[in-house]
Structure 1
Amino acid sequence: MANWRANAALLVVTLAAGTASGASVTPSGPEVAENLLRIELHLDRPMAGALDMSHVTLLDSAGTPIPDAFLDLPLLDRSGRNVTLLLHPGRIKTGVGPNVALGPALRSGQSVTLRIDDPQLGRPFAQHWQVTPPLRERIDPQQWTVQTVRRSGRQTLRVIAPAALDGDAVEAIAVQGPDGRRVAGVAMLTAGEREWQFTPKQNWRPGAHLLRIHPRLEDPQGNRLCSAFEQAEQSAKRCEDDGKLAFIIE
C-alpha cells in the first residue's frame, strides 16, 4: 500500500491568477464549523506571487471585518497554484490566550463571508458560509456510510462522512480488494467534501473489501484519525496507523 500512501498530500489551497471566474473554494458546502482551521481556495492557473493577506478578509454577518482572524502566513506550494489560509489557531483552542482575550473568530449561528481582492485574481472573490457548532472529535471512519455496489459492474462506490473532510481527502482514501491489492480507479469528493466517490477501472469483484485511510487525513478543523485538534499535545502525536472500514461486495 506504499503507493497510495505516497499520494496523500499536505492540505492545500489552489489559487489561479487573473480569473476569479475560475475560482472555487473548500470547504465548498454552505456550512463551516466554528473551529474551522483551514480554508482552501481553488483557481485554474498559478499566481504570479504570494497572496497578499492584507487583501484577505473574513466579514461577519453585519459585513464588518473580523479582526485577527488569519495568521499572516499564506502557504504557497511549488507550483504557484496552491495556497493554504490558516485561521488563527490560538483563537480556536479553548483556554488559550487569544481564545480567552478575543474569543473564536467564527461564532456558531452567524454567517461569514470570505473576501479576497488581491489584484492578482483579476476581480474580487467571495464565498459565504453559515457557522455551525464546533467539531472537536477525531475522525472516525466507523461513522462513515458505505453504499455498497454489485459485482460484475463498474458502479460508483459512495462513502458518506458525517462531516466535511479536507479537500485532499480524495487522494488519502483507497480501496483494497479481496486479493489484498489496491483497486485501480478514479476518485472524487462531492457534496461539500462529505462524500468520497470511487469508480473502478474494471468490474467490481465479489468478496471482502477494505477502505484504507491514510493516517494523515484531516478535516478542515485539523482533527485527525488518531486525535482531535484540541487534544493535549496533539501536534506532537504521530498518526501512524491506517484507518480501515470493511465492506462486502456480493
Structure 2
Amino acid sequence: MKRWLTAFCLVASLACAAEVRLKDPGHIEARGSDMRVFRGDEIEPLFGSVVKTGDNVLFTAALPLVAGESYRVEVKSPDGSWSERKLTFRLRQAAVPTVSISPAPTVLPANALKLYLHFSEPMEQGVFLERITLQREDGSVVNGAFRETELWSPDGKRLTLWLHPGRQKTGVNLNTDEGLVLQEGRKHTLKIAASWRSTAGVALGKEAVFTVAAGAADHSCPDPQRWQVRVPKAGTSDPLKITFDEPLDPAMLATALKVKRGGTEIAGTVAMGVDARSWYFIPAEAWAPGPGVIVIDPLLEDLAGNNLNGPFEVDREAPVKAAGMREVKFEIR
C-alpha cells in the first residue's frame, strides 16, 4: 500500500455523513477517474463527486454513508495502478432525545389554545401531526385536535402545540359542529410517538405519555392586581418573585416582564415555575435599597389566549373589562 494512503479519513457529520477525505499526494486531479469509493465488496462504485481543495481531495457520496458499514476506497497511483484501503464508517454517538411538557402538571382551561413540548435535542420537523395523538378517557382519538401550523423555537427544541382555535372558540362552525377539543372536568391523554426522531436521526425510542386535565373555560383577562410579589432584601441577590393566580403562557413569560429602577431596565436572568404560576428575576448585582417597577407587556396571555388588553373571545352583550394595570411597583428595603 502506498505510504500516502494512510492519510485517508472518513469525515463524520451529523448533517451529511457522506464524505471521504484524502490528503492529496499531489498527483490527483479533481475528477472521479482518480478516486472511487465502494460499499463492502460491491463491484460498482458509489455515485458521488470528487473535489480538490488545497491539499485535500474530497469525495462526497450522493447518499449518506451507513454507520457500521465497511467501505473500500481506491485511488489511482501515478503509474496508473489502483491502491485501496478498507475503512469502517462510524457515526458520532448522538444523544437519545427526551420530551417534557409545559405547563406541568398540565391542567388547562377547557378553551385553552396551546401548550408546549420541550425536547432535549433538535427534532425532525414537518411530521408532528403524525407523531402526536390526543385521546379521551374512553381511549377514543380526538380527531382534528391540533392546528396544522408548526411553530418551533430557533434551536428546534420547543414546539408550540396549538389546540385548534376553530374548535376552541365559541360559536365558530367547528366548535358548534364538533365541540371543544378538551372536555371540562375530564382527563385526556397526550401521546408522543416513540418513532419521532431528532435531526441526528435518533428516535425517542419510548412513547411519551402525558395527562392533560381540563378545567372550566376561562374568558377573563389576566389581572396583575391579583398577583403576589415577594420582594428580596437589600444587599442580597435573592430573586424577585411573582406568584400568579392562574398559569400564564410559559414562552411569553420569558420576555413579557421587565424590571426597571429609575427608568432603566436592570440586568438579570429570568426563571419560571414548571406550572407557569410563578416567575423569578435574579439580578446581576445585589439589590440596592429603593423603589422599582415591573413593567408588563399587555400582550401577555393566559393559557386561553386572554391578554391584558382584552379576552380572546369578545362578547358584545357582556363585555369583559380589560386589566387596568400595566406595571407592578415594589420597594427594596
Q: Which band: TM-score by shorter chain?
A: 0.7 to 0.9
- The answer to whether the 8 Å contact 1:184/1:201 transfers is yes
Q: Which has the higher helix share?
A: 1
**How big is each residue's C-alpha offset from its partner over 1:173-223, in whole Å with a ceiling of 9 and x where there is no partner?**
12112x221121111010501000111121112222111122332222211
**Distance of aligned partners of 1:69 and 1:172 in 2 relative to their CA distance in 1, 3 Å threshold:** same
* Distance in 2 between residues matched to 1:127 and 1:19, nearest whole Å: 19
* Distance in 2 between residues matched to 1:114 and 1:19, nearest whole Å: 20
- The answer to whether the 8 Å contact 2:103/2:274 transfers is no
Equivalent residues, number: 226
Q: Which has the bigger relative contact order, CA under 8 A and spacing at least 6?
A: 1
Counterpart in 1 of 2:37? none
**Alignment partner of 2:111: what SS?**
coil
* Distance in 1 between residues matched to 2:189 and 2:101, nearest whole Å: 12
**TM-score, reference length from structure 1:** 0.82
1:31 positional shift: 1.1
Task: Check if 1:46 corresponds to 2:90.
Answer: no
* Distance in 1 between residues matched to 2:184 and 2:168, nearest whole Å: 13
- The answer to whether the 8 Å contact 1:29/1:193 transfers is no
Counterpart in 1 of 2:220? 137
Task: Check if 1:176 corresponds to 2:260.
Answer: yes
Choose from 204, 207, 213 the match for 1:122: 204
Counterpart in 2 of 1:156? 239
**Which aligned runs of 4 or more in structure 1 are off by greater than 4 angstroms?**
none
Counterpart in 2 of 1:88? 164
* Distance in 1 between residues matched to 2:99 and 2:164, nearest whole Å: 24
Counterpart in 2 of 1:219? 302
- The answer to whether the 8 Å contact 2:114/2:163 transfers is yes
Question: 5+ residue gaps in structure 2?
Answer: 1-93, 198-202, 317-321
Is the radius of gyration larger for structure 1 or structure 2?
2
1:232 positional shift: 6.1
Q: Which has the higher strand share?
A: 2
- Percent identity reads 29
* Distance in 2 between residues matched to 1:43 and 1:52, nearest whole Å: 13
**Alignment partner of 1:53: what SS?**
helix
- The answer to whether the 8 Å contact 2:224/2:325 transfers is no
* Distance in 2 between residues matched to 1:119 and 1:24, nearest whole Å: 14
* Distance in 2 between residues matched to 1:110 and 1:184, nearest whole Å: 43
**Distance of aligned partners of 1:77 and 1:170 in 2 relative to their CA distance in 1, 3 Å threshold:** closer
Counterpart in 1 of 2:44? none
Task: Check if 1:147 corresponds to 2:267.
Answer: no
**How big is each residue's C-alpha offset from its partner over 1:15-36, in whole Å with a ceiling of 9 and x where there is no partner?**
xx9734x311112224111111
Choose from 145, 151, 157 the match for 1:69: 145
CA RMSD of aligned residues (A): 2.3
**TM-score, reference length from structure 2:** 0.63
- The answer to whether the 8 Å contact 1:58/1:69 transfers is yes
Counterpart mapping for 1:6-17 below 5 A: none
* Distance in 2 between residues matched to 1:18 and 1:54, nearest whole Å: 22
